[in-house]
Every structure is written in C-alpha cells, then in structure tokens.
A and B are shown apart, each in its own frame.
Chain A
Amino acid sequence: MNKVFVFFILLSVFSIAFIAPLESEFIKPKNFPKPKYNFQNNPFDSNKINIGRALFYDPILSKDSSISCASCHSNYTAFAHVDHALSHGIADRIGFRNAPGLMNLAWHENFMWDGAINNLEMQALAPITNHLEMDEDLNQLLAKLNRSIFYKNLFKQAYGDDAISTDRFLKSITQFLLQMVSANAKYDSVKNGNAIFTSQEKNGYHIFKKNCATCHAEPLFTSLKFEQNNLAIDPNLKDMGRMRITQNPQDSICFKVPTLRNIAFTFPYMHDGRFSKLQDVLHHYENIQLLTSNNKRIKIKLNKSEKVDLTAFLITLTDQKFLFNPALAFPKKLLLLNRRKNE
C-alpha cells in the first residue's frame, strides 16, 4: 500500500508541474514588491478574466441597468471618475466620495479611501448594494445573471457548469481588477535602465523623494497606509476617513494614501475631489507641516520652479500602455456582438 501511495504522490507532483503553467500567470513587474493578493485561492484563467471584464462594463449590475462599474471607473483615465468631484450613481444620486483610479490592486490589503473593504474579492459588493451607487440586491442580481443565457454560457466555459454563485461572480470580477497593473511609465523605464530622465525630471524626482516619498512611496507611489495631509474638513460631508472604520480618534481624517501613478489623468483630486488641477494640489503642499502616522514630522516648502520640476517628474508616472491597453477596454466583441447573438 505504502509504495503505491508514494508512487502516486511523486507522479502527481510531476504532473502538476506540467499542468500548472498552462494557465495565465500573474506577472510581477521587475521593480515591484511581492503582491498581497492570495492568487492560490483564485488562480488566473483567461475565461474567468473575460467574465470579469464583461461584468465590469455591463450595467446589468445596477438595479435599473443604467450604470456599470465603468460609469465611475473609466479605462481612459486610469479607471478614475473624471470631472466628477463626487461620484454619480443610478438616478443621478450623488455619492460622498471621489472615485479613485484603479491600478495595482494586487498590492493593496485595504480598499476605499477609509479601508472599509478588507479584501479585493469583496469590493464589488459595496457599490452594487449601495443605495447611492448601483442600489441592487445581491440575490436579485445573481437571479438576473442566472437568467442570462449569455452569462450562463460564459460561466460554463470558465467553471465547468453554468451555476452563477456569489463566489464565482466575485472571483471573476476580481480576476479582471487584478489585470489593472500599471508599471510601464517612463519612471519604470528609467528604473529598469531603458530610458533617462531629463534634467528637469531628475530634479523633480529629488524634490519628490525629499518631500513626498514617505507617504507616496515608490514603486507603487503609495505606502498604502492611512495618513492625513492637513486638508480642512468639508463641513457638509464631515468625512472622518479611517476613523469611521476603526473608531479610533488617532485615525481621524486619515485617508488611504492614493497612488500618484497616472496622476495627470485621475483628476479631480483628494477623497472629495476638491482640487481639479495638479497645480491646486501643489499649491496645497507648497508650505506645509505634516505629521505621519508613525510620528515623523515632514516640513514641505516648495518654490515656483520646484513646483514646475516636481510636476515634470509626476508626469513621468503616466503609463500610456496601461491607459490604452485594449485588454482592459470595453469588450466590444463580447458584449455587443456575442451577447446579441445569444439573448
């Protein structure tokens, strides 16, 4: 018995080695740390990514089928909600925060400005069920999807049978969100030795490292911690940020540090979208004293030319390949052609 047992173990180890690489893998950019997402629980599969992509762009997720994830997260602006300080949901209901850009989510452990969501897989539930956003009920939504021949076929291809469960639904969306990796900006080319900064950008990089990098840490350009940057509280929104979740006064008006990647495209800025231009942001930072969550004091003083150089550096964080990645765009063929054929 034992010998047979060992034989099968060895055999299966070998065969796993052959089979595993067939699925698409998550490719970690060279200059990035190890991602935080647990890929073993949800191994990549091109069919599942496809479902996630269809769902992301499909208004079927909202109660009156008017709004998709992409309504607030547009791929041409690094998935931010451009021109809207506060996001708009169904029936023109206005939310209470600015929709951030979506990128490099595999490295995050907390989501939303206040970290209310603790796992990327659970993220989609928040806007779907939020009265001000998509206002849909999870059971209703899954019933709706289970009535769709189009989705039933897609799930059958990906999962072996056509049952659309919460788990399959959320894991598929997650696989698509994990595709949003931005690591091909000029900054990355410089880091990888394939390009060089202009002298202005180089100077801007020095200013950045001195003043901003504690919170907007490289290479993700966010420490992913909850910090505050001395913005005055908006008296209408009274948003206490992280404290809303932890109830800890130390977290009062702390927000998750946003990434600065693709920053030229993700305006308006801050959790409430109060600044519409980068210039306004730098104006906020030009003469300021900040205290970080681990009690480090940061004094920032920026003159006019330093602000110009800093801006030049921030623009090197624009990733054209990401912004115009066809694999992340609206899936025309799938949603328009195939779907019509099917329904």
Chain B
Amino acid sequence: MYFKKLILLFLYCVAIYREAPAQSQKTTFFLQTDFDQLYLKDSVKISKCAIYLTNFKFYNQAQLVFVDTIKAHLVDLLDPNPIQFNIAANLVYNRVVFNIGVDSNTNVAGILTGDLDPRKGMYWAWQSGYINFKLEGILNTKVQQPFQYHIGGYSGNLNAIQTNSFEVYPNNKYTLSFNFMPMLQYFFAQKQFELMSPQLKAVQLAKLLSENTTCTKVQNLSNE
C-alpha cells in the first residue's frame, strides 16, 4: 500500500513537471464528403459514409514536429465533427501527413479502445481487421439497388492503407474533402454492388479515394 501511494505521488510530480505552457494554437480540419451533386440528384442515396483518419503528423520541412496523441479518428462523414489539434503556440510547421485507414501494427495489436473499439462497427470479426472506410446506400434506377462497400485489409499486398500529405500552416482552418464519386462510378459501371472483404480491388479503390482527397484553406473565417 505504502509503495503504491509513493508511486501515485511520483506520477503526480511528473504530471506537474510536464505540464506544458498554457498557450497553444489551434489547427482545425473540417471534414466533408464531396459528391457531385448533379450526378447524385435523387439517383443515389447515401446512408452510411464513415472513415478512419489516423496517425496525424505535422512536419516543418522534413522535420517531424508534432504527433497527434489520438491514434485514430473515426469520422462519420454524413455528420462530421471537425478534428482539432492543440499545438504549442511557437511551433512552426508547413505540412500535415495522415493515413486513410488503420495501419498494420494497430490491426494486430489486439483489443483497443476509443474509436478503435470494435463496437463502433468498423471491425471485421470473422477475419481480424479494421474497415478503413465504409460507403453504403441505395441506387435508384428502375429498381432500388442497395450497395455496400467496406474497404480494408492490412497485410501484404492486400494492405489498403493510404497516406495523404498536404501543405498547412499554424493557426488556420482547412477543409478536408473526400470525393467518393470516382469510386461509385467505377462500381456502378461494373454493376458491382458489394465489396466486403480485403482484396486487391479494395486496395485500388482506396487509392482512388486517396487521390481524390483535397485539403483547402477555409476562407473568411477569422482565427479564434
């Protein structure tokens, strides 16, 4: 008991010792999906669109200056909350790098909490692994055609994780847009309405999404 108390005291000291200076800056990412509304019109109804954004890192040139303590952000793209980083005020950076999807080490690490809890519905129980992103809905043609795309896979050539990198600067707000249109067009053209497991095609489609992701500075919004 005595020793346990001492440990607590020790941890407390470390906590005080490490408390950072109160000043900080905020870099914020607003997230949105970017569908071609004209094409969509009434013909496609999206019911689920969720994505894992992970391992956010900020660089100043080649030097890593800030690593997000939260490993994975699960974002509901139909109702997204902004992702905000509290970074020390004096830190200089000009680039953010992150992954779309969950990396292999995390995939084999056993049970995890927070957004990586399998309860969030982004985990394949029958074949271990996270679903990097999900897109589900209904295509209204002559019939109502449901579609369901669960893209993931972490191992070997089935690893679907993507890395994106954008130029960003301190104290700014940005919009990250994920354009799923090319992916939908690909699937609809092939009349493929389901893709539910790791496979080479999933890797290609993850790449397609990554290539159609953009980051733009939000205009007309003053910094807090």
Contact = CB atoms under 8 A, between A and B. Distances in A.
Interface in B95-128: 107-113, 117-119, 123, 125-128
Contact of B111 (A1, A126, A130, A170): A170
A129 B121 CA distance: 12
Counting chain B residues whose Cβ lies within 8 A of the other chain, the interface size class is: 20 to 34
Contact of A41 (B110, B156, B198, B200): B110
Contact of B110 (A38, A139, A165, A245): A38
Interface residues of A, number: 40
Interface stretch (A6-14, A178-186, A275-283, A322-330): A6-14
B77 to A, nearest CB: 21
B10 to A, nearest CB: 4
A271 interface: no
Contact of A12 (B6, B123, B156): B6
A167 interface: yes
A294 B160 CA distance: 27
A1 B6 CA distance: 17
B10 A12 contact: yes
B199 A9 contact: no
Given A11-B10, A12-B10, A126-B126, A246 B158 contact: yes
B127 A116 contact: yes
A1 B17 CA distance: 9
B155 interface: yes
A122 B110 contact: yes
Contacts of A38: 110
A122 B123 CA distance: 10
Contact of B7 (A15, A122, A248): A15
A119 B108 CA distance: 6
A167 B111 contact: yes
A167 B113 contact: yes
B198 to A, nearest CB: 8
A171 B13 contact: no
A122 B156 CA distance: 20
B39 to A, nearest CB: 32
A117 interface: yes
A201 B3 CA distance: 54
Interface string A2-30: 00110011011011101100000000000
Contacts of B119: 138-139, 142, 166
Contacts of B155: 246
Contact of A166 (B14, B117, B126, B156): B117
B125 A126 contact: yes
Nearest to B155: A246
B125 A246 contact: no
Contacts of B129: 118
B9 interface: yes
B111 A122 contact: yes
Contacts of B142: none
B4 interface: yes
A276 B125 CA distance: 30
Interface in A131-166: 138-139, 142, 165-166
A247 B118 contact: no
A5 B13 contact: yes
26 contacts: A1-B17, A8-B13, A9-B10, A14-B3, A16-B7, A116-B126, A117-B127, A119-B128, A120-B110, A122-B111, A122-B118, A122-B128, A125-B125, A126-B125, A128-B125, A129-B125, A142-B119, A166-B111, A167-B111, A167-B112, A167-B113, A167-B117, A170-B111, A174-B110, A246-B158, A247-B200
Given A119-B109, A166-B117, 13 more contacts: A5-B17, A15-B7, A41-B110, A121-B110, A121-B111, A125-B118, A138-B118, A139-B119, A142-B119, A166-B118, A167-B112, A167-B113, A167-B117
